[in-house]
Structure 1
Amino acid sequence: MGGPSTTDEVEDFLSRLFADGDLIPLGSLQKYLGPLIARRRTPKIQKQYSEIGGGSPIRKWSEYQCAEMCKILDEISPETAPHKPYVAFRYAKPLTEEMYQKLFEDGFGRGRGGRAVAFTQYPQYSCSTTGSSLNELWKWRNRLEGRRAGESEEGTIQWSVIDRWPAHPGLVEAFAQRIEERLATYPKERRNNVLLLFSAHSLPMSVVNRGDPYPAEVGATVHGVMQRLGFSNPYRLCYQSQVGPSAWLGAQTSDTVENYVKKGYTDIILIPIAFTSDHIETLYELDREVIGGANQPGVTRIESLNGSPTFIRALAEIARDHLRSGEPCSRQLPLRCQDCRSERCLQQKKFFAGEQLADLVR
């Protein structure tokens, strides 16, 4: 999603976010309701960003992770080197179209061809997140390089996609290391009774009921991490960041912490399992609202993956394996949600699936 780097960018960020029907479906009135909601929420969100340093650190961490990943990738995949890093966000700078223009400036496309990999930084796939981002990339590809979905004419950028990696051993190991580091701060006699609360970004139930794979993939990450930890502690999965009055996937993280504290669980570690770096939903929502509201010294949070060498090496290994496979995407990407009726989703999937898998998209 990205995040505003300054408070002045907040309204533009929110306007793009609430205009995205893939993330927050508001029906036929989206183009009217989205800007209205964004304007009303801007002062509140600006205040929150002011309290965490004046902007989101997500661009800093994303650019660092991407650059460091490419250094490792040059070493472990010399046959595809050199590798050049780019960052594109859905709602904040650098936007997808800005990234695409940078590719042109650097000698890709526009009759010169080149190979590019869209590597989602959402480990768990959702149509609302990765799907929306791929829709945006497909849209700008068509506008800037031609409109024929599935074409492979010479001189255009040849895209492939790393569309999910919820149970990759490197991701699991990176989270497990962060949890072990945090558990070590608790007294030994209390350590095995610390409650581990995995918190993921929620989704509207309308998206979940359509068949979105996100809940299952988040569950796969949680299970992988707990398996690596030897199921040493009690644990639960909960969800944060619900927006608006409609039904969202729960239970909500804030309610979960409050309820467990009332039941006597005063040693709790929050684990942002669907995020790969710090941003407002960790630094403000979890740290200030949830942990601050609990008012218990035993309620803490793991450090986000951020600059974890284990995590960055995992990114490089995922990219290397993708490049060696020759596959345009995972076998899951061509499979649409059971109740999907989006023509845009259909055409986007056909494009990124390429000739090898396009027949599977229907």
Structure 2
Amino acid sequence: MARPWPPARTAAPHARRPVREVSGVAHDDRRLQVLRAIVQDYVSTNDPVGSKALAARHDLGVSPATIRNDMAVLEEEGYITQPHTSAGRVPTDKGYRFFVDRLSAVKPLSVAERRAIEKFLDGAVDLHDVLGRSVRLLAQLTRQVAVVQYPTLSRSAVRHLELVHLGPHRLLVVLITDTGRVEQRVVECPAEVGAEAVAELRTLLNSAFVGAKLAEASSTVPDLVENAPPHLRALVATVGATLVETLVEPGEDRLVVGGTANLTRGSALDFPGTVRPLLEALEEQVIVLRLIGEVDPSTVFVSIGEENAHEALTGASVVSVGYGSGDRALGGLGVVGPTRMDYAGNMAAVRAVARYVGQLLAES
């Protein structure tokens, strides 16, 4: 029985989970090269990979017979598998994880690709346009399903509060965040409200909330009511209650999804059953939000196959990163596709688009 490989010293910072069961033989480096070559060939050709093809396409410095022996060890240890008799080998989830954890560097985008991203996103006119363009761009760059999360209210700050007088007993409260997100609520007032009171209340609310983080802003409402002028106190209490509901219970987070047609471009080996559960998970959104919501702007995460907790995603991989300003993540974005994907290229595209989205929102 072949001895397992030795434990890896470190896991790459972009990996969501490190490989645990890796142990040792004298020719680890060559077997890693063989595994890397199998992953690269299978991703590019979509065909199971044999020893003769590896010897012909890669300068491994050994004969096909030696490569076959290395492949037998890799298969025994669970890094590759044979989809059917007389076929070559394909990577397993464990093989992809080992490959991703040992990527020496994320493949950089070309200058032309970076300029294309910048030009395409710079034409956006508002938050909705930025996110819509981002998801289309990611889908085109990666040929996967692209997902972008709207900036979450809890991570945003108040830019402006607007009050619109709709009638004697009705106001429209408009909350605008520093990320460009807009929340609107209609408030039924307990007494008739005039234009002068609306203007006074607008000034009072903006002086109290502008610049405040939404996660903390709701705690200022009780003091605001207590210290409000007597003639405004009931109105402040009513509008304040609506603001608390908006700030503390911001409603569902939303995803923009694009490129679902890319799921049909693979083969039966990519999704041996059906893509329907994955499409339903994308439509439901909550499942994917849980994955891409746990991100920060400095780290690209990769979750492969069975590492995804939800059954609908066990045949897929998710590459995600946070976007925002500095170390502050406002939301997440990424791509979802088969485990047979160009991890290095997708990681580079996801990271680049996230950087531009963060810059655009910081400047807006």
**TM-score class normalised by the smaller sequence:** under 0.3
TM-score when normalising by structure 1: 0.25
